[in-house]
């Protein structure tokens, strides 16, 4: 008998999907094995602590691990507001070079709004290494070393994730010792390579109650590589550190399949049941403007996105994105229900799109943002907006987006709302392109 005599229950379907994904991700344990491996070199110390009118600022130094003959050291800055109404949750920002001072004002703002501890860990990854390599060049080098040697400890993302895990350990230990405060969960955020690290850490550590990966729009890597090649005719020059080492090729090679099972967050997608906020920029030169189409629908709820129009890889300075991130953390810390955003798109006979956007909370404004391009490359195009009429007392608006007479038009909706404390923030839909003639 080819088919069962009765329909499969939803539970049976879920179990079958879980089994399939477990088999597909059979190699994913290498990342988990590395991160969970005890390391006697982990330690931390308090170097400074100051009480101010808003709260307490502490500076710590920690060694997260010993990786390939290198001790990984980090600065950790912890901000604790005077009024701590949410003692059981904290926020951790993953950062690169520096001591974290540049993030101090934003940490203080988020701590005060959420009534919770906030922190930043820097030097993720420790760099430069291996004759001066940094950032993408350093990650790419370590991936090639794994492919050459088969040594599963090579991928740099492994110690990057472990750095974050040890950062959370340290914030918990310090809060307990200094304030007799027991932090049980975290909202974690990071940008670019640190956004990649945010995704992977969220797949492994149950303490993460929310996450906000920024400017990392590459889940479902194999499909994203194909998509870039179709849209641009080549890979973006921004990922040349990888393509110059041919890491975009031979995706069916067993070693490459194994590597992707460890480092592609898409492989862990069913684990991402915590609230997620994706912060992106519309003109980010690393990615295709509608890269979300290849993974957004596969992520479990709750999930939100805000794309900074004309923001690029640096989110236009990040002010709007930080307001949304602060609201996201505050709502999770206070146990508030997150807003729900939905959008529906229907193509007309001429290829134009009729689009509706609606949410479950009142909106201050809803805008349609669009950009046009002679080809399908929107990296250098300027986005402009117009306000839409909102149905009274709702977050509902509808409009039609027409195909330009020549070229392409990209569009997204932006919804402006306020928190329970009256702080403004923005969410958006995914960006789409008309005509949608590339598959």
Summarize pLDDT for 107-144 with one digit per residue, the tens. Answer: 999 999 999 999 999 999 999 999 999 999 999 999 99
Summarize pLDDT for 208-219 with one digit per residue, the tens. Answer: 999 999 999 999
Q: Which fold has domain 342-434?
A: Immunoglobulin-like (2.60.40)
Is the omega angle on the peptide bond into residue 125 within 30 degrees of 0, that is, cis? yes
The closest alpha carbon to 121, from 73, 88, 89, 186, belongs to: 73
pLDDT band at 249 (very low <50, low <70, confident <90, very high): very high
Summarize pLDDT for 10-60 with one digit per residue, the tens. Answer: 444 344 444 444 444 444 589 999 999 999 999 999 999 999 999 999 999
Per-residue pLDDT, averaged over 149-154, amounts to 98
User: What is residue 4's predicted lDDT score, i.e. its pLDDT?
Assistant: 31
pLDDT band at 3 (very low <50, low <70, confident <90, very high): very low
DSSP 60-95: EEEEEEEETTEEEEEEEEEEEES--S-TTEEEEEE-
Summarize pLDDT for 366-423 with one digit per residue, the tens. Answer: 999 999 999 999 999 999 999 999 987 778 899 999 999 999 999 999 999 999 999 9
User: What is residue 357's predicted lDDT score, i.e. its pLDDT?
Assistant: 86
For residue 424, pLDDT over 70 is answered with yes
Q: Which of 5-9, 15-19, 65-69, 290-294 has the lowest mean pLDDT?
A: 5-9
User: What is residue 93's predicted lDDT score, i.e. its pLDDT?
Assistant: 99
CATH code at 17-338: 3.40.50.1820
Q: Could you state, in order of their start, the residue ranges of all structural domains in the chain?
A: 17-338, 342-434
For residue 73, pLDDT over 60 is answered with yes
For residue 9, pLDDT over 60 is answered with no
Summarize pLDDT for 321-368 with one digit per residue, the tens. Answer: 999 999 999 999 999 999 998 898 887 777 677 778 877 788 999 999
Percent of the chain at pLDDT > 70 equals: 93
What is the rounded distance in angstroms from the CA atom of residue 203 to the CA atom of residue 161? Answer: 10
What is the rounded distance in angstroms from the CA atom of residue 230 to the CA atom of residue 418? Answer: 40
Output 416-421 pairs: Cβ under 8 A, ≥24 positions apart.
Answer: 416/363, 416/364, 416/365, 416/366, 416/367, 417/339, 417/359, 417/361, 417/362, 417/363, 417/364, 418/364, 419/113, 419/327, 419/330, 419/331, 420/334, 420/336, 421/113, 421/330
Average pLDDT, the chain: 92
């Amino acid at each position: 008998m080819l088919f069962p005599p009765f329909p499969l229950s939803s539970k049976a379907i879920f179990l079958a999907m879980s089994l399939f994904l477990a088999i597909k991700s059979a190699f994913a344990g290498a990342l988990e094995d590395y991160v969970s491996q005890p390391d006697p070199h982990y330690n931390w110390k308090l170097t400074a602590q100051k009480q101010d009118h808003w709260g307490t600022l502490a500076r710590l130094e920690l060694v997260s691990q010993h990786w390939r003959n290198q001790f990984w050291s980090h600065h950790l800055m912890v901000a604790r507001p005077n009024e701590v109404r949410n003692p059981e949750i904290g926020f951790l920002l993953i950062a690169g070079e520096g001591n974290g001072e540049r993030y101090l004002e934003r940490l203080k703002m988020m701590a005060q709004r959420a009534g919770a501890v906030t922190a930043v860990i820097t030097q993720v990854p420790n760099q430069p290494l291996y004759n001066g390599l940094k950032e993408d060049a350093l990650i790419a080098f370590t991936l090639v070393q794994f492919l050459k040697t088969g040594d599963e400890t090579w991928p740099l993302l492994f110690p990057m994730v472990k750095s974050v895990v040890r950062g959370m350990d340290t914030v918990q230990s310090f809060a307990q010792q200094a304030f007799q405060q027991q932090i049980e969960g975290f909202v974690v955020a990071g940008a670019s390579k640190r956004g990649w690290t945010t995704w992977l850490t969220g797949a492994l550590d149950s303490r993460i109650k929310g996450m906000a990966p920024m400017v990392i729009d590459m889940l479902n890597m194999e499909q994203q590589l194909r998509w870039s090649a179709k849209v641009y005719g080549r890979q973006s020059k921004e990922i040349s550190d990888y393509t110059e080492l041919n890491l975009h090729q031979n995706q069916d090679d067993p070693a490459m399949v194994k590597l992707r099972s460890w480092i592609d967050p898409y492989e862990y997608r069913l684990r991402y049941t915590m609230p997620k906020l994706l912060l992106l920029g519309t003109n980010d030169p690393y990615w295709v403007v509608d890269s979300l189409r290849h993974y957004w629908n596969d992520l479990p709820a709750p999930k939100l996105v805000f794309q900074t129009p004309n923001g690029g890889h640096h989110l236009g300075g990040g002010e709007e994105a930080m307001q949304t991130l602060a609201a996201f953390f505050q709502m999770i810390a206070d146990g508030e229900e997150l807003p729900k955003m939905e959008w529906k798109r229907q193509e007309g006979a001429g290829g134009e799109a009729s689009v509706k956007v609606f949410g479950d909370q009142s909106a201050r404004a809803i805008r349609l943002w669009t950009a046009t391009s002679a080809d399908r490359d929107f990296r250098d195009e300027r986005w402009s907006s117009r306000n839409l009429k909102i149905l009274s007392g709702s977050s509902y608006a509808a409009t039609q987006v027409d195909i330009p007479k020549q070229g392409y038009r990209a569009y997204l909706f932006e919804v402006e709302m306020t928190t329970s404390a009256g702080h403004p923030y923005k969410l958006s839909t995914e960006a789409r392109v008309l005509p949608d003639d590339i598959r």
